[in-house]
Structure 1
């Protein structure tokens, strides 16, 4: 019995990790099509601001790497993928035993994460403006992006878990 539980957790964590990488790429792509913030508000994006609130200097939070002539925000990407992978693992571990979490193939869960973080936690911390002060475009992009992100976690994570579970 203990072996089965450890085996389940290992497979769910592997599946969640892979799903989190893929869904993180989906969310980045989504934000290229429907940018959630104005160019001015993106000069210090929420991951960068959160790290600065934690005392990490701007020289690290705005660290970039150069690829194909573009300066890309490596620190922001690390936070972005860390968040995506963490939530994908949590979702996969919980939802394999609690199927009700899969209602809407993860879309309801994704909306709940958006509400909790973008309308509640981050505004309360001062990382982003209060929900009423965020533009409609930001709400639309983030809400739909979180649906696409968690749907991807659901599909990729569950499929990979099922493949890992076949003997």
Structure 2
């Protein structure tokens, strides 16, 4: 058992740092999304993707009548921060060996997450938040939000690894 623990030890600190960094980075990402959402044309100011996705999942599960708007917002926020934390963990595993500046690694990773989500699993799942179904402005908002998340994740993870 000790050998297994010893072999996992080099991954534990980056994994912890990445998880916390992903969570922390979701704060400025979410703030940016909420602020910029208000600057979109009125016809594009419908729910942001985290809420859109949660609403569609609730509708598909056929439990819409038992879940109100406050619960949807709470679930959306929890899901968004959980996804950010999980992707932060993934960042720490995949980007650990690259010797690039953290802001560059993080930004590229954030852009990759946007691509895999908005051009990948969201269209495959037929979600309305998928990039091909959204306007250019809404897509740009989400791309920049993911760059903010990625850059912040990279910087925070890099700093946390020094202290964990």
What's the TM-score once normalised by structure 2's chain length?
Answer: 0.78
Cα 1:51–1:135, aligned 2, differ >3 Å: closer, same or farther?
same
1:21-76 superposed Cα distances (whole Å, 9 cap, x missing partner):
211111111102212793334599333135326626235665527xxxxxx81100
**Structure (1 or 2) with the greater strand fraction:** 1
Cα 1:60–1:93, aligned 2, differ >3 Å: closer, same or farther?
farther
Cα 1:147–1:42, aligned 2, differ >3 Å: closer, same or farther?
closer
Q: Distance in 2 between matches of 1:38 and 1:94?
A: 35
**Structure (1 or 2) with the greater helix fraction:** 2
Cα 1:111–1:57, aligned 2, differ >3 Å: closer, same or farther?
same
Q: Distance in 1 between matches of 2:101 and 2:12?
A: 20
Alignment of 1:130-141 (within 5 A): 131-141=131-141
Q: Which runs of 4+ in 1 moved over 6 A?
A: none
Q: Distance in 2 between matches of 1:44 and 1:145?
A: 12
Match of 1:69 in 2: none
Aligned residues: 158
Report if the CA contact (8 A) 1:26-1:148 is conserved. yes
Give 5+ residue unaligned stretches, structure 1: 66-71
Report if the CA contact (8 A) 2:108-2:147 is conserved. yes
Cα 1:129–1:43, aligned 2, differ >3 Å: closer, same or farther?
closer
Shift of 1:124: 2.5
Match of 1:52 in 2: 58
